[in-house]
């Protein structure tokens, strides 16, 4: 089947005006904007380009062929959201965004893409010859993915785009086309479809799939009094301090410039993060996610 839109066509130039050429394929007339041409066309000659229907409803051919076409997948940028229709995606056409239908989007509308997010899509043509964006399936993404190498583990940060939301977690594709998985325990809230994230590698499976986290390392999540206390321990020669939760409040105030209550809360925070231990002599660092300075 040959479509009149969504693919690359070759047409015969039949006419022109001050701004456009006109060309025909199978009795259909297409505009070609003169501003995008480096050389003039000639009546009776051929022109090849991507065919689509522009925002005015006129068939048009552009020489600027988009990466997103029928059977071709690429990222497009979300430009607008219509709750009653879906989301509009810029695929590089000069005067046309394609719509990804609400039928393909999450049931929870708060998880829909927002402006500036990006979706990997292809095109489809409906029974009225209208172009729609269609999300890449798991099979397509698994076919183009590049398996991650084992050396990627070790808390490396990678940029990734959300492409599928599932009950068991979030699926993403990195800028290097590796597939990653974010378990619900490794995020503070569920990312939306198309959201671009900075994730942390916490593991690489044997099949090359990345296990990722949106949570910082334990020591990065610490702030306030606990962070100051951790810094003092890190800078101590033996990574110990002669204070614990039994120490005299005045001694704590003099050394740390905090009340004993603040001190105990800071100790509790660090202890829950498995960063410190204490004994009768004081507190000390233990092996953890913290790697030292």
Domains and CATH numbers, the chain: 8-62 (2.40.50.330), 74-136 (2.40.50.140), 146-213 (2.40.50.140), 219-285 (1.10.10.10)
What's residue 288's pLDDT?
Answer: 45
Using a pLDDT cut of 90, give the percent of the chain over it: 66
Pairing between β-strand 8-16 and β-strand 86-90 as defined by DSSP bridges: unpaired
**Residue 49 reports pLDDT greater than 70:** yes
> Which range, of 63-67, 89-93, 142-146, 289-293, averages the lowest pLDDT?
289-293
What's residue 139's pLDDT?
Answer: 93
Contacts of 206 (CB under 8 A, 6+ apart): none
Give the bridge partners for 282, in sequence order: 279
Mean pLDDT of 178-187: 93
Token pair belonging to 84: 């009653």
Query: What is the four-CA torsion angle of 260, 262, 266, 269, rounded to 10 degrees?
Result: 120
What's residue 216's pLDDT?
Answer: 74
- Interaxial angle between packed helices 224-235 and 260-272, expressed in degrees from 0 to 180 and rounded to the nearest 10: 80
What's residue 41's pLDDT?
Answer: 94
Q: In angstroms, rounded to a whole number, what is the distance separating the alpha carbons of residues 172 and 195?
A: 9
**How far is CA 286 from each of CA 19, 49, 269, 280, rounded to the nearest angstrom?**
73, 64, 14, 16
Residue-wise pLDDT tens digits, 213-223: 988 776 566 66
CB of 58 closer than 8 Å to CB of 20: no
Token pair belonging to 71: 């059977």
Token pair belonging to 290: 């913290």
Q: In angstroms, rounded to a whole number, what is the distance separating the alpha carbons of residues 100 and 123?
A: 9
Mean pLDDT of 102-123: 96
Residue-wise pLDDT tens digits, 50-93: 999 998 889 999 999 999 999 999 999 999 999 999 999 999 99
Average pLDDT, the chain: 90
Q: In angstroms, rounded to a whole number, what is the distance separating the alpha carbons of residues 90 and 80?
A: 9
**How far is CA 208 from each of CA 120, 167, 168, 177, rounded to the nearest angstrom?**
21, 22, 19, 11
């Amino acid at each position: 089947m040959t479509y009149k839109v969504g693919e690359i066509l070759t047409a015969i130039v039949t006419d022109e005006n001050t701004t456009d050429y006109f060309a025909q394929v199978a009795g259909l007339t297409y505009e070609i904007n003169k501003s995008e041409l480096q050389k003039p066309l000639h009546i009776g000659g051929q022109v090849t380009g991507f065919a689509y229907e522009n925002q005015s409803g006129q068939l048009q051919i552009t020489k600027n062929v988009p990466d997103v076409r029928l059977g071709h997948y690429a990222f497009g940028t979300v430009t607008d959201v219509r709750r009653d229709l879906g989301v509009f995606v810029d695929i590089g056409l000069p005067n046309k965004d394609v719509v990804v239908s609400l039928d393909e989007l999450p049931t929870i509308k708060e998880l829909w893409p927002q402006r500036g997010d990006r979706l990997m899509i292809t095109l489809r043509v409906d029974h009225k010859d209208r172009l729609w964006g269609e999300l890449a399936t798991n099979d397509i993404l698994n076919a183009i993915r590049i398996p991650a190498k084992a050396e990627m583990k070790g808390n490396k940060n990678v940029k990734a785009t959300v492409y599928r939301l599932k009950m068991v977690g979030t699926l993403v594709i990195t800028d290097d086309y590796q597939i990653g998985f974010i378990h619900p325990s490794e995020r503070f809230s569920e990312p939306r479809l198309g959201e671009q994230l900075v994730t942390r590698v916490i593991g690489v499976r044997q099949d090359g799939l990345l296990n990722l986290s949106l949570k910082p390392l334990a020591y990065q999540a610490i702030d306030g009094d606990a962070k100051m206390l951790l810094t003092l321990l890190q800078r101590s020669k033996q990574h110990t301090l002669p204070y614990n939760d039994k120490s005299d409040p005045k001694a704590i105030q003099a050394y740390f410039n905090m009340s004993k209550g603040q001190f105990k809360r800071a100790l509790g925070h660090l202890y829950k993060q498995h960063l410190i231990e204490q004994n009768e002599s004081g507190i000390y660092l233990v092996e953890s996610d913290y790697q030292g300075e």
